[in-house]
Amino acid sequence: MLTPQTLPQWLLHNATHRPDEVAQRHKRNGIWQEFSWADVRDEVRALALGLRARGVQRSQTVVLMSENRPELYWAEWAAQAIGAKVVALYPDATEAEVDYVLKDAQAVCVFAEDQEQVDKVLPLMSRHAGMHTVVWWESGGLWSYRHEGLFGWDDFKAPARPIAAEDALWFEQVIHQGQSQEIALLLYTSGTTGEPKGVITTHASLLHNAELIGRTLQLPQGCEYLSYIPLSWATEQWVGVTLGLIRPMRVSFAERPDQIQEAIRELACEMVFFGPRQWESLAARVHARMLDAPPWRQRLVDWGLHIGRLARSEQMDTARRPWWVRLLLPLADALVLRPLRDQLGLLRARIVFTGGAAVAPDIFRLFAAMGVMLRNVYGCSEFGLITVHQGEQANPETIGHLALLPSAWGEPMQWRLAPTGGLELRGGTGFAGYWGKPEKSAEKMNGEWFQTGDAVGQGPTETELIYYDRVEHMSRLKGGHTFSKQFIEVRLRFSPYIREVMVVGDPSRESVTALVNIDGDVFGRWAELQGVSFTTFTDLSQRPEILTQVACEIAQVNRTLPEAARITHFVNLPKELDADEGELTRTRKLKRDFIEQRYGGLIEAMYANQAKTAIEIPIRYQDGRSGMLRADVAVGRIPQLSLQEN
């Protein structure tokens, strides 16, 4: 039997060979609703017939706007079944961001979850001549909407009721016409350095990278997995969408985004994939709970985590563990570690990984101490999977071993380091280019080598890599000292008190400084326990006690850095960084140039060694209104004694 070559072909394969097996689950109104592979096929077929009825053609573009749920997957597979390509947008994308993608990708149809998403799209239809269809599936607030191109979920599927024999035959025939080299997706970059670019992603690329992840992580068939990361991320397309088909897995969906941890705990998921910010948030949550615990419980948890760290030292750092740790580990697990895993929903988690950005090594060590072996998956949308922590060990100082395996869809990857320290690759399924941007595509190539733009170094073994930063973000100070901003930032974010941070320093500066976003929730609890009164986030961020605590957190990280790279001054930003205001990408990456420009007055105040400075910032409220935030911002200094310690 021939191996399926596209995602819809794999769907048909599963519906034929395991029709009654549970493929997906979705919690609705507090009850888990199950969908077999036959159910999923029927839903996808109905949507494909609806797309045909609306005149959607092969190689046209369909856009998805929704939180993760079964309908999102079905819509993607339906579009791909008829040969169309898909763009998945972040559900919190602004109207301007949606407008850009609709134009750039030449979209003809949008699947929108609810009124919030529909309201972004309808005003744009008149601007884009090719856009003719919007489909929603959550009806709240949409009963009175009237537009010739707007369809409810059931109305859109009407051409499939009842299903005719010739329609079922057409569905299978059009799927079998698909080829592995056809475009399945356009994955838009985060736009940190300019306008987002649509990465051309073929079915072969999805299948090749999913197969590599499955093999390197030794993923079992039928694994329980909760889909949470947006489908805009390449990794979720490789894992939830594609691995869910080819392994296959049971892919589930929470009722609401704020119920992710509860759903993971209920399902006892064996595989868990969170982005770095989610793992940092979980670590901060553990710390915040300990703030409320009595002293004896805090000491017990500290003891349990200490035993856990010693027990897993061989897996993390190859250090030999003391013989007596083996005796104490079962007690520590029963009293501390197992309850911690249970509270976080990680009791049955066996394959636990992260990707998308650098993660502080201490995050890896914390979860390893709990008995959760966190692994890193590193890759890029343009080329695919690059490294994975494989086997029994996961060195937290590296991003894993190179994934050099072939698959039925791609050849083994080759790699090299450029003179700039940048990582270059070839092989795999290659780089197919940016949609409609041949010049930008050409800029990414160095002959036949793809330039990732990431500065890396070789780890303890030949196939392990250490990630430093983007090549363009490797920084040099006035005195000639070089340092990595991201290297410092990820270590600062391990602090439960720091939600986000941007390090500043360039050839015109003699020292390194930092813009800090405090974690308002954690510091709010801390302030209550310390008897520190405050009114707003702005007020809390500028309290002297808060500044002192942040200075201590920075001083701790400073002790691990070369003297020239140590932070000398910092400010606590008076507001949280916000993607809607252009300060972060939708993946919560810093838009450095914009932030440096917006908070330029604070940066100059730090380098002028001022004690305080006033700032005015334009802000946008959640209801769409605009305003100005005015605040006096204190400049924090790191104690000189801490700077001298090693």
Q: What DSSP string runs through 378-425?
A: EEETTTEEEEE--TT---TTS--EE-----SS-EEEEEEE-TTSEEEE
What pLDDT does residue 623 have? Answer: 67
Are 550 and 518 spatial neighbours (Cβ–Cβ below 8 Å)? Answer: yes
Single out the residue of 375, 356, 275, 268 nearest to residue 316, CA to CA: 375
Single out the residue of 148, 99, 89 nearest to residue 120, CA to CA: 99
Is the per-residue pLDDT at 191 higher than 80?
A: no
Structure-token pair, residue 387: 């490294």
What's the chain's Rg over C-alpha atoms? 25
Q: Give the residues across from 150 on adjacent strands.
A: 134
Is the per-residue pLDDT at 644 higher than 60?
A: no
Angstrom CA distances, 252 to 21, 28, 45, 210, 272, stand at 14, 12, 21, 18, 12
Is the per-residue pLDDT at 341 higher than 50?
A: yes
Single out the residue of 176, 230, 240 nearest to residue 206, CA to CA: 240
Question: CA 175, 180, 182, 188: dihedral to nearest 10 degrees?
Answer: 110
Range list of β-strands (E), 537-625: 567-572, 612-620
Summarize pLDDT for 592-622 with one digit per residue, the tens.
999 999 999 999 999 999 999 999 998 877 6
Q: Kindly report the backbone phi and psi dihedral angles of residue 644, in degrees, each rounded to the nearest multiple of 5, phi listed first.
A: -90, -15
Collapsing DSSP states into helix, strand and coil, what is residue 609? Answer: coil
Alpha carbon distance 374, 368 (integer Å): 7
Residue in the block written with tokens 């072939």: 406
Is the per-residue pLDDT at 566 higher than 70?
A: yes
Instruction: Kindly indicate the confidence band of residue 582, based on its pLDDT and cuts at 50, 70 and 90.
Output: confident
Instruction: Give 116-121's long-range contacts (Cβ < 8 A, gap of 24+).
Output: 117/65, 117/66, 117/91, 118/142, 118/145, 118/150, 120/65, 120/93, 120/94, 120/95, 121/65
Structure-token pair, residue 61: 């573009």
Are 232 and 240 spatial neighbours (Cβ–Cβ below 8 Å)? Answer: no
Instruction: Kindly indicate the confidence band of residue 297, based on its pLDDT and cuts at 50, 70 and 90.
Output: very high
- Percent of residues, the chain, with pLDDT higher than 90: 73
Q: Give the residues across from 296 on adjacent strands.
A: none
Instruction: Kindly indicate the confidence band of residue 317, based on its pLDDT and cuts at 50, 70 and 90.
Output: low
Summarize pLDDT for 348-374 with one digit per residue, the tens.
899 999 987 778 888 999 999 999 999
In the chain, the domains with their CATH numbers are 7-258 (3.40.50.980), 276-470 (2.30.38.10), 477-644 (3.30.300.30)
Q: List alpha helices for 268-389, DSSP H.
A: 276-292, 295-311, 313-317, 325-332, 338-343, 361-370
Query: Cα–chain-centroid distance for residue 419?
Result: 30
Alpha carbon distance 336, 354 (integer Å): 24
| Length in residues, the chain | 646
Mean pLDDT across 228-254: 96
Collapsing DSSP states into helix, strand and coil, what is residue 627? Answer: strand
Question: Is the alpha carbon torsion for 536, 537, 543, 549 positive or negative?
Answer: positive
Give Cβ neighbours of residue 229 (< 8 Å, ≥ 6 apart): 68, 235, 236, 240, 273, 274, 275
The type of residue at 32 is W
Are 520 and 537 spatial neighbours (Cβ–Cβ below 8 Å)? Answer: yes
Residue in the block written with tokens 């922590």: 389
Mean pLDDT across 146-155: 94
Structure-token pair, residue 3: 């191996």
Alpha carbon distance 592, 587 (integer Å): 14
What pLDDT does residue 642 have? Answer: 42
Give Cβ neighbours of residue 554 (< 8 Å, ≥ 6 apart): 492, 514, 516, 567, 570, 638
Range list of β-strands (E), 83-210: 85-89, 107-112, 133-136, 150-152, 183-188, 198-202
Give Cβ neighbours of residue 462 (< 8 Å, ≥ 6 apart): none
Structure-token pair, residue 62: 């369909």
Mean pLDDT of the chain: 92
What pLDDT does residue 316 have? Answer: 67
Is the per-residue pLDDT at 430 higher than 90?
A: yes
What pLDDT does residue 645 have? Answer: 47
Antiparallel, parallel or unpaired: β 224-226 and 250-253: parallel
Are 466 and 457 spatial neighbours (Cβ–Cβ below 8 Å)? Answer: yes
- 318, with CB counted inside 10 A (0-12, 13-18, 19+), is exposed
- 624, with CB counted inside 10 A (0-12, 13-18, 19+), is exposed
Structure-token pair, residue 433: 């280019």
- Percent of residues, the chain, with pLDDT higher than 70: 97
Single out the residue of 254, 299, 456, 278 nearest to residue 367, CA to CA: 278
Structure-token pair, residue 165: 């024999």
Are 199 and 383 spatial neighbours (Cβ–Cβ below 8 Å)? Answer: no
Antiparallel, parallel or unpaired: β 401-402 and 384-388: antiparallel
What pLDDT does residue 244 have? Answer: 97
Is the per-residue pLDDT at 643 higher than 50?
A: no
Other Cβ atoms within 10 Å of 563 Cβ, number: 10
Helix (DSSP H) and strand (DSSP E) numbers for the chain: 25, 28
Say what the pTM is. Answer: 0.86
Is the per-residue pLDDT at 315 higher than 70?
A: no
Mean pLDDT across 281-305: 90
Are 98 and 123 spatial neighbours (Cβ–Cβ below 8 Å)? Answer: no
Structure-token pair, residue 594: 């914009």
- 107, with CB counted inside 10 A (0-12, 13-18, 19+), is buried
- 366, with CB counted inside 10 A (0-12, 13-18, 19+), is buried
